[in-house]
Structure 1
Amino acid sequence: NGGLIAELESESLASWLNMTEGKTVLISNLDISVLFRHRTYPIVLEYLPIQLQIDDAGFPTQVEQENNLPPNTIASVRWIKPPTKCTAEQRKAFALMHITDIHVANNILQDGICINNEHVSI
């Protein structure tokens, strides 16, 4: 799709490129239009109650606070199959949660996550 992925030699260089100064230096040396996209790590949440309002803008923040995660760690949460497409008898569905930090994603995969005081299968 015309993109460029840069693999960097150190975390300190990656951190520097994440800051405004690093982005400015890179853009001035490339002489092309640049859009920075941050990588996210998808995690499937199994058997979430479909009455959960995961589409609400505040839902990721609520889950972050409940699990003592750093702010903005959860980039997004969405249903894999929207509840409107589920049968009337169906009470649970799978969702996809995108995490911005690889270490947090790995911890969630190892330990799971709580949503509304209920441990969710991963």
Structure 2
Amino acid sequence: MCRTGELAPPAGARFVGATLQRSGSLLLHLDSSASAKWIKDNIEAFLAGLGGTSVYKQRFYNVKVQYIPVSFDPASQGVRRAVEDDNKFPKGSLAKAWWLKPPHRRHAQQRVAHAVLGFEDAAAANRVIRDGAFIEGARVYGGKLLAEPIRCMKCQGIGQNHVAATCKAQGDVCARCAEAHRTADCTVSDERRACANCKAAKRQYQGHGAADRTCPIFEEKLQYALERNPEASYPYFLVADDPNSWV
């Protein structure tokens, strides 16, 4: 790191590790949040020093928050700034937000829904997890949004490392009834739902669909994914200079 001039880093700043991601990108670990902030503030000079075609991808600390009033507009920067002001979060730390379920799928009388808040600041995300937050006048609570196994929207396979665009299946499989048609075209009632994955595995497949979070195969794939993710065992996002985040 540069140690002289205007770009001088915090005293003792250093990289303590690096993790190669499945996407091929490299996650760099620094000794403190102050060092990480210095890198972000001087990212153009840092990338120039690396040379080549290196690019910086912002990491977001995503928190799944429950029972937010539906009056909340996650796409509005002004609304997100209001959340920062109401909760004394650093300005600009709430970089993005989105509803877990599309608003058009809500029932007419629905007043609250679940959303994801994407923070650039781990400490702010941890505050929501620990203390909750005020959004649209309501106090809401949440937890870390953990990576889950991907389900192909074409064949309904879970954790198969492909999506619908790259699926090699000949035709669509319905996520509601396990028959050979698009899920959007399904007309079966909730009582007649069937799971394509459990059916293929010769398990009890009636009573739930492939998208059901209580599906035994989904639960097994999720548990496997969590066991391979060391950070999943911590309730908070890890911050080097905050021992409270290590519990």
Alpha-carbon deviations, 1:35-91, whole Å to 9, x = none? 212221111111112232232221110101111211011011110102111122322
Residue matched to 1:63: 83
Residue matched to 1:32: 52
Q: How does 1:1-122 map to 2 (within 5 A)?
A: 1-20=23-42, 23-24=44-45, 26-122=46-142
Larger-gyration structure (1/2): 2
Which segments of 5 or more consecutive residues in structure 2 lack a partner in the other structure? 1-22, 143-247
Any conservation in 1 of the 2:99–2:114 contact (CA below 8 Å)? yes
> Displacement of 1:18 after TM fit?
2.2
Instruction: Give the alignment's Cα RMSD to 1 decimal.
Output: 2.0
Higher relative contact order (CA 8 A, sep 6+): 1
> Displacement of 1:12 after TM fit?
5.0
Which segments of 5 or more consecutive residues in structure 1 lack a partner in the other structure? none
In structure 2, relative to structure 1, the CA distance for the partners of 1:13 and 1:62 (3 Å cut) is closer
Look up the SS of the partner of 2:89 in the other structure: coil
Q: 1: CA distance between counterparts of 2:75 and 2:49? A: 40
Alpha-carbon deviations, 1:9-48, whole Å to 9, x = none? 455543432233x642x43443311221222111111111
Any conservation in 2 of the 1:47–1:120 contact (CA below 8 Å)? yes
Look up the SS of the partner of 2:30 in the other structure: coil
Any conservation in 1 of the 2:100–2:116 contact (CA below 8 Å)? yes
Q: 1: CA distance between counterparts of 2:132 and 2:41? A: 31
> Displacement of 1:101 after TM fit?
1.2
Q: 1: CA distance between counterparts of 2:73 and 2:37? A: 34
Amino acid of the residue matched to residue 42 of structure 1? N
Look up the SS of the partner of 1:66 in the other structure: helix
Look up the SS of the partner of 1:48 in the other structure: strand
> Displacement of 1:98 after TM fit?
0.8
**Corresponding residue pairs, total:** 120
In structure 2, relative to structure 1, the CA distance for the partners of 1:112 and 1:10 (3 Å cut) is closer
Amino acid of the residue matched to residue 63 of structure 1? V
In structure 2, relative to structure 1, the CA distance for the partners of 1:10 and 1:77 (3 Å cut) is closer
Q: 1: CA distance between counterparts of 2:34 and 2:134? A: 32
Any conservation in 1 of the 2:61–2:118 contact (CA below 8 Å)? yes
